[in-house]
């Protein structure tokens, strides 16, 4: 079995004194981290050179991201200045109660809705700075962002290979080449034996692996995973997180996992807690994921 273990030198020191109130077991606030309302990075990211995301040439970072719905008296500020950074090869957790702004943040990060302000950078490229820098958001999602959903949401009428090859084909890749690359990914994710099967004939775990393969197809610098383990039992949930860690390292992809799942929260080395439209960086246990 594969063991995905976060290097201990990247783990934040467990400092009980910095525990954030009732907090979650095994989650500690990073030194200097706090709720940031401004445009700067949280101190835990920008100020601590030991944490990933600093000086990274790829990955994603956002500064002071804001999102307002409506106008005037009925305006709602869903995001009030979110700061977040994820390094290539890193998997971070994004947690928070319902209505805290997780989905809004995910939609902004996924270039699905336009933020009201702030700055987003993918690798070296500024994609949003008080306005989209890449006007074709469809192409942005296709080429630079991978998505993994709560349910696999595979295209039911395409076989496994074509489901994974589809983003490549959409990007203009020749069908044969796209399928070759898809088969490589399926092999890496250990589902190559189901390459010709339709999604309906796969188990839940296999479907989620295929969904991860699809998210990785275009080698995006960032993958957004929305509750990817919600419908899975503990073992399968940990398997998915292990896989995301493995793929993140292998393909140097920054992975943001939005989750409520208590089973997997301790596995994150870094966590962002979103509350009232602001993020707070926390240091997780980074529990070893023995396979």
Partner 1 sequence: MISLAGRDILHAWGKFVFTGLGLGLLIGVTLSMAGIYRGMVDDAEVLLDTSGADLWVVQRDTLGPHAESSSLQDDLYRGILTLPGVARAANVTYLTMQVGQGERDRRAMVVGVVPGGPGEPGQPRFLVAGRHLTRGHYEAVADLATGFQMGEQVRIRRNLYTVVGLTRRAVSSGGDPMIFIPLKDAQEAQFLKDNDAIVHQRQRTLANPQLNRPGQPGVLAAVLATQTESSAVNAILVRVTPGADVDAVAADIRRWKRLGVHTRAEMNEILQAKLIATSARQIFMFLVILSVVSAAIVAFIIYTLTLGKIREIAVLKLIGTRNRTIAAMILWQALGLGAIGFMVGKIAASLWAPVFPKYVLLLPGDAARGFAIVMLICTLASLIAIRAALRVDPAEAIGG
Could you say whether residue 138 binds partner 1 (CB under 8 A)?
A: yes
Tell which one of 31, 43, 103, 123 touches partner 1 (CB under 8 A). Answer: 103
CA distance 45 to 58: 15
Contact segment (CB under 8 A) with partner 1 among 1-9, 120-128, 143-151, 181-189 equals 143-151
Determine phi and psi for 143, rounding to 5 degrees. Answer: -95, -25
- In the chain, alpha helices (H): 102-109, 137-144, 160-170, 175-188, 204-216, 234-251
CA distance 239 to 217: 20
Tell which one of 132, 153, 183, 263 touches partner 1 (CB under 8 A). Answer: 153
Q: How far is the CB of 170 from partner 1 (least distance, A)?
A: 5
List of residues 6+ apart from 142 with CB closer than 8 A:
167, 170, 171, 218
Cβ count within 10 A of residue 155: 12
Tell which one of 57, 175, 203, 234 touches partner 1 (CB under 8 A). Answer: 175
Could you say whether residue 113 binds partner 1 (CB under 8 A)?
A: yes
Tell which one of 8, 22, 135, 156 touches partner 1 (CB under 8 A). Answer: 156
CA distance 187 to 192: 5
Site string for partner 1, 225-254 (x = CB under 8 A): -xx---------------------------
Tell which one of 28, 66, 141, 194 touches partner 1 (CB under 8 A). Answer: 141
Smaller CB separation from partner 1, 35 or 169: 169
From residue 18, how far is each of 25, 27, 192, 285 by CA, in Å?
A: 13, 10, 46, 14
Total residues at interface with partner 1 (CB under 8 A): 31
Tokens of 161: 């290979």
Contact segment (CB under 8 A) with partner 1 among 2-10, 81-89, 152-160, 278-286 equals 152-160
- Return the DSSP state at 41: P
Contact segment (CB under 8 A) with partner 1 among 15-23, 60-68, 110-118, 124-132 equals 110-118
Sheet of 60-69, strand order: 76-86, 60-69, 117-122, 125-129
Smaller CB separation from partner 1, 23 or 99: 99
Tell which one of 75, 76, 126, 155 touches partner 1 (CB under 8 A). Answer: 155
Could you say whether residue 110 binds partner 1 (CB under 8 A)?
A: yes
Contact 247, 253 (CB under 8 A): yes
Tell which one of 11, 35, 39, 170 touches partner 1 (CB under 8 A). Answer: 170
Contact 222, 142 (CB under 8 A): no
Smaller CB separation from partner 1, 81 or 199: 199
List of residues contacting partner 1 (CB under 8 A): 102-103, 106-107, 110, 112-113, 138-139, 141-143, 147, 149-150, 153, 155-158, 162, 166-167, 169-171, 175, 198, 214, 226-227
């Amino acid at each position: 079995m594969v063991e995905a273990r976060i290097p201990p030198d990247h783990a934040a020191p467990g400092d009980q004194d910095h525990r954030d109130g009732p907090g979650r077991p095994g989650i500690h606030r990073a030194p200097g981290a706090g709720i940031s309302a401004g445009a700067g990075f949280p101190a835990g990211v920008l100020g601590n050179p030991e944490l990933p995301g600093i000086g990274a040439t790829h990955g994603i970072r956002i500064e002071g991201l804001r999102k307002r719905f409506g106008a005037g008296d009925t305006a709602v500020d869903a995001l009030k200045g979110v700061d977040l950074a994820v390094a290539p090869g890193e998997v971070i957790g994004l947690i928070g109660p319902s209505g805290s702004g997780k989905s809004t943040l995910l939609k902004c990060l996924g270039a699905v809705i336009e933020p009201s302000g702030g700055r987003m950078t993918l690798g070296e490229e500024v994609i949003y700075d008080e306005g989209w820098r890449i006007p074709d958001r469809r192409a942005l999602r296709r080429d630079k962002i991978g998505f993994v959903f709560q349910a696999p949401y595979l295209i039911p009428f395409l076989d496994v290979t074509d489901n994974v090859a589809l983003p490549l084909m959409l990007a203009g890749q020749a069908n044969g080449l796209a399928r070759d690359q898809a088969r490589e990914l399926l092999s890496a994710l250990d589902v190559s034996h189901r390459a010709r099967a339709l999604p309906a004939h796969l188990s839940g775990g296999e479907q989620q692996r295929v969904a991860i393969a699809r998210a990785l197809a275009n080698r995006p610098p960032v993958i957004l995973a929305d509750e990817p383990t919600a419908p899975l039992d503990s073992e399968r949930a940990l398997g998915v997180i292990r896989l995301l860690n493995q793929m993140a390292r292998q393909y140097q992809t920054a992975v943001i996992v939005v989750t409520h799942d208590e089973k997997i929260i301790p596995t994150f080395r870094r966590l962002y807690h979103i509350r009232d439209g602001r993020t707070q960086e926390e240091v997780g246990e980074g529990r070893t994921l023995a396979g």
